[in-house]
A and B are shown apart, each in its own frame.
Chain A
Amino acid sequence: MNYHWNWKIFWDLSPTGDGTYLHTLFVGLLWTLATALAAWVIALVLGSILGVIRTTPSRWAVRLGNAYVEIFRNVPLLVQMFLWFFVLPEFLPERLGNAMKQMPPPWASYVPAVLCLGFFTAARVSEQVRAGIQSLPRGQRFAATAIGLTQPQVYRYILLPMGFRIILPPLTSEFMNVIKNSSVALTIGLVELTAAARAMQEFSFQVFEAFTAATLIYIVTNIIVVTGMRRLERHVAVPGFIGPVQTGGH
């Protein structure tokens, strides 16, 4: 067994002509982040709306929200990716479907990937939002109604501000999941970080260097996100109520 290690490979030029292999990986990381962030915006907005309607008294709204979650949770992400990429354009009106298929290279896979990840993650975010709201004492809703707030105001001023603070830690791991799940987009041709590592491996034959680099980049991204979210948690924590343990006495 003799694997020929060559850690200097990252400074070699890749045959695609865009620069070094390190550059290839860096561009891959940018696509990973661009996909994850855009999908996260969709997931957060849609997930919050769904999470909220699943806590309303309206029974059909709750059912609708539950159905959404069950559908998106019980189909593998990869299959969903194919549905957005291959199947959806065929069911759209012809002009829109063709427009989706004929987008120039990165966008033709980027747009379906973002939509797919966004709608997939929205189901998971909505679970967290619902759990966050339901973890609040019932008295808060009653009290808010009693002082004359309307339903939207109850959510806006009472339930959501506390609910979101409670679910910050699980939301952090959902955000990490979006970053990791964006690698599934390589199956529809998006050259994100994992695909970039794979391309580097195919061109240079330095399998383990390429994958080690990608792994390290994922770990560093992970650490940055977790640290950033910890800071956010501490920043928005309501003193003496919830959140990370504060240093010092009260």
Chain B
Amino acid sequence: MFSQFDWGVISRSLPYLFREGMTFTVTLTALAMFGGIVFGTLLAMMRLGKFKFLSVVAAGYVNLMRSVPLVLVIFWFYFLVPYIGAWITDADRPVQVGAFLSSLITFTMFEAAYYSEIMRAGIQSVPRGQVWAGYAVGLTYGQTMAKIVLPQAFRNMLPILLTQTIILFQDTSLVYVLSITDFLGAASKIAQRDGRLVEMYTFVALVYFIICFAGSLLVKRLQQKIAIIR
């Protein structure tokens, strides 16, 4: 039954798959994680802050992002970003931003909504008294956040933030809908060129599984290591 398959196609395309595809996927994941956590933390602070208007805006943004499918968001930004670019640079025609930047913006904006929910829980996990104590010794809001609340929030939420990053890593495969050469996109191009869909997609699934499974095991170990015994 397996004789009709040509598994050699995998080893022949390995350099392309990893040098082109996996590099794109990993870079996109890393940058979107960074951007998403920064923006997500800002959203969480807006949401928990004392300005009613900002908290409504942040809540609205998070709920909007969480109620639409990622595929639709990818399409949205793909078409929207050129117009926003034109608006910012005051150009009279849409600005070409390229596949990478477009998907980076998409994933940063989309994942920020999910990271912000995690950070919100993280900030709320820090006892209120610490904030008051911070103010009492004369720290400003920014200092209290930066020196007291956020470091603890990050520490408490680190395993969940990393788990979300594993999900983000998997989600980046959806840039396939824009025909971008990420890991899956690269495999898909080879698969279609050589007519080897079965071999390539099985291999892709295996690689994703190994990376994500190893990642989740590491997160589990980290969780045990950093857990604060109360």
Contact = CB atoms under 8 A, between A and B. Distances in A.
B176 A78 contact: yes
Main secondary structure of the interface of A (DSSP, over half): helix
A75 B216 CA distance: 12
B142 interface: no
Interface residues of B, number: 39
A187 B177 contact: yes
B201 A83 contact: yes
A20 interface: no
Interface string A167-209: 0000000001000111110110000001001100100000110
A214 interface: yes
Contacts of B91: 1
B76 A180 contact: no
A218 B72 contact: yes
B209 A211 contact: no
Given A1-B91, A83-B205, A176-B67, A76 B198 contact: no
B201 A74 contact: no
B201 A1 contact: no
The residue in B67, B80, B202 that gathers the most chain A C-beta atoms within 10 A of its C-beta is: B67
B174 A78 contact: yes
Interface size class for chain A? 35 or more
A183 B71 contact: yes
Contacts of B204: 79, 82
Interface string B79-101: 11001001100011110000000
Contacts of B93: 1
Contacts, number: 108
A70 interface: yes
Given A2-B92, A87-B197, A186 B71 contact: yes
A215 interface: yes
A78 B184 contact: yes
A71 interface: yes
Interface string A61-88: 0000000001101111111101100110
B68 A184 contact: no
Contacts of B174: 76, 78, 184
B68 A180 contact: yes
A180 B173 contact: no
Given A70-B213, A76-B184, A180-B70, A211 B79 contact: yes
Given A1-B94, A75-B212, A214-B72, 16 more contacts: A1-B91, A3-B83, A74-B166, A74-B212, A91-B198, A183-B71, A183-B72, A186-B177, A187-B177, A194-B69, A194-B75, A197-B75, A215-B76, A218-B68, A219-B67, A222-B67
